[in-house]
Amino acid sequence: MTKLSISLGQMHIKLARVEDNLATAERMIAEAAQRDSQLIVLPELWSTGYDLENAGDYADKVGDGMFAQLSRRAKDHSIAVLGSILERRGADFMNCAAYYDAGGSLASVYRKIHLFRLFDEHKWLGEGETPTMLAQPWGDAGLAICYDLRFPELFRRYAVEHGAKLILLCAEWPLARVEHWRTLLIARAIENQCFVAATNSCGDTGGTVFGGHSMVVDPWGLVIAEAGEDECLLTAEINLNEVDRVRRTIPVFEDRRPDAYLTG
């Protein structure tokens, strides 16, 4: 199976209103399943927004609380679900993207490596340490969260070292820099010759207006689907075989010269 139907759940997150946000996510998960999507991607910190100073009120160990809610929704609707939520990990709180498969089993966990100082993440959250790949019947994917998008090294590692054909990203990216968002998503797809599917939040959450424009970009950098600035469910089908074709057409990875520019 190389074709994948993806839905991007572009939510207007209500700051600190977990039950309201869960209701929105549930509605989107159910609708994505009705559209026969195999996967839905929710935004970064979709259940709480950036109420980080109260992270202890929301954070759960993986498998408990909101993680268990995601698992049940995935199983109930027979659809894989990816979304970023607050995790309690020892003495730390982490920005954690958990991927549950269509049976509700935890398939992969990624903890945000690059913390966004402008939102004080470094004051409240622990740093993730490890890039995370996801292996599924339709292909291999790398996982990332929001600010990670500004660090091409992570995406390059997914593509070159792990052969990722798709990168999935959850975000809360402000409207003020939405053109950076669009440009960087397209750039990451072009330079790594892979699909990029990224879900952003939208609307005013706690005084910051988030930019929407959730997107699916193909390995040529062509935008297959793009949302506007309002809450919506965006759905697109991709064929992962296209990655192999593009990489054969312009064999960029074969022409890399790490001996020349990764020294000193």
Task: Outline where the chain has alpha helix (H).
Answer: 18-34, 55-58, 65-77, 121-124, 152-162, 178-192, 241-249, 258-261
The end-to-end CA distance of the chain, in Å, is 43
Q: How confident is the model at residue 88 (pLDDT cuts 50, 70, 90)?
A: very high
Q: Is 44 a catalytic residue?
A: yes
CA distance 53 to 121: 9
Q: Is 31 a catalytic residue?
A: no
Q: What digits encode the pLDDT tens for the residues 146-184?
A: 999 999 999 999 999 999 999 999 999 999 999 999 999
Query: Of the residues 14, 87, 121, 146, which is catalytic?
Result: 146
pLDDT of residue 261: 86
Q: What digits encode the pLDDT tens for the residues 9-66?
A: 999 999 999 999 999 999 999 999 999 999 999 999 999 999 999 999 999 999 999 9
Query: What Rg do the C-alpha atoms of the chain give, in angstroms?
Result: 17
**CATH numbers and ranges of domains, the chain:** 3-253 (3.60.110.10)
Q: Is 121 a catalytic residue?
A: no
Query: Of the residues 14, 87, 96, 112, which is catalytic?
Result: 112
